[in-house]
Amino acid sequence: MSIIQVKHLQKRYGDNEIIKDIDFQIDYGECVALLGPNGAGKTTIIKMLLDITKPTGGQILFQGKRHDKMREFIGYLPQHPTFYSWMTGMELLEFMGGLSGLYKEILEQRIKELLDLVGLTKEKDKQIGTYSGGMKQRLGIAQALIHQPKLLIMDEPVSALDPIGRRDMLELLKVIKQKSTILFSTHILHDAEELCDKILILNQGKLLVNGLINQVINQNQQPVFIIQAPRVNEWAPQLVNEDIVESIVETGSSAKVRVKNIEQGRIWLLDNISRLRLPIQKFELVQESLEEIFLRMVK
């Protein structure tokens, strides 16, 4: 069953069409990544889902209906959460729980659960101004979940974190996704590949891809051979063939050769390696990563 349905969604600012007739849905229990380069329209879509910005056309349905107060059902973590630095973590969650209309007894238990979930129990009485970036992000998740929303939306949740903070956040999201429906935007493709069930790839306001992550990778992969040998810049251009070899990318002493057909490409490359008498050190067929597929699509 779908929790969110987006139908023919459009957004214009004057003559500038930011979002162009987009359709997708998010089902209960899914973790969905919204991917796209800067300026693709990711944040605009999130703002429309949150009812902060009104669509120019189309509609957004929650559980099959249009609601006037969508934010009651959604928890939100912005890219750069801002809190009152003089508040403690505990005080912030009490404040946010009060705004959400939670009763005191329920709120106390909820705060205890969330502090334990995000690993801030020991820091709950410290002022937020003393928190690290990673601690603030974890506190941001706790405040987004305080009212037990049906959908958690996050805008670039790990982009500003160092590698340790990013890894901590990813492990936390793996726990949260077991009980929650999640939509998050990111430009870190590896995170989407590690966490998500489904991906939406957006570029220049258009939805290029909408599907299960494994299916998207399998359906869009192109055969790639890695050839490693000395003086790659001298011999790589001689392997180009419009009918067989789509592209060659040189990196150090190796070349990544994308072909249209595995068997034809293998025969063509081996024949030419023999003809050129290349002292090859490696000849390997590899799978494209989600990042490589994404870059090829948006370029």
- CATH code, domain carrying 294: 3.30.70.980
Token pair for 296: 């090829």
**Whether residues 23 and 78 fall in one domain:** yes
How many helices (H) and strands (E) in the chain? 10, 13
**Whether residues 114 and 168 fall in one domain:** yes
- Contacting residues for 99 by C-beta, under 8 A, at least 6 apart: none
- Looking at 50-182, list the stretches that DSSP marks H as alpha helix, in order from N- to C-terminal side: 89-99, 104-118, 133-145, 163-176
**Whether residues 44 and 174 fall in one domain:** yes
Asked which of 158, 184, 218 is the last residue of a domain, the reply is 218
Asked which of 218, 243, 271 is the last residue of a domain, the reply is 218
For the CA atoms of 248, 250, 255, 259, the dihedral, rounded to the nearest 10 degrees, stands at -10
Which domain does 288 fall in, by range? 221-298
- CATH code, domain carrying 212: 3.40.50.300
**Whether residues 195 and 68 fall in one domain:** yes
Asked which of 218, 238, 258 is the last residue of a domain, the reply is 218
**pLDDT at residue 253 greater than cutoff 80:** yes
pLDDT tens, 81-93?
A: 889 999 999 999 9
For the CA atoms of 141, 178, 73, 26, the dihedral, rounded to the nearest 10 degrees, stands at 120
**Whether residues 229 and 160 fall in one domain:** no
**Whether residues 200 and 95 fall in one domain:** yes
How far apart (Å, rounded) are the C-alpha atoms in residues 157 and 137?
7
pLDDT tens, 40-72?
A: 899 999 999 988 899 999 999 988 877 767 777
The residue ranking higher by pLDDT, 218 or 94, is 94
How far apart (Å, rounded) are the C-alpha atoms in residues 87 and 91?
6
**pLDDT at residue 222 greater than cutoff 90:** no
Token pair for 72: 């009651």
How far apart (Å, rounded) are the C-alpha atoms in residues 23 and 293?
21
Q: What is the mean pLDDT of the chain?
A: 88
**Whether residues 239 and 266 fall in one domain:** yes
Mean pLDDT is lowest, of 11-20, 33-42, 159-168, 272-281, for 159-168
**Whether residues 33 and 153 fall in one domain:** yes
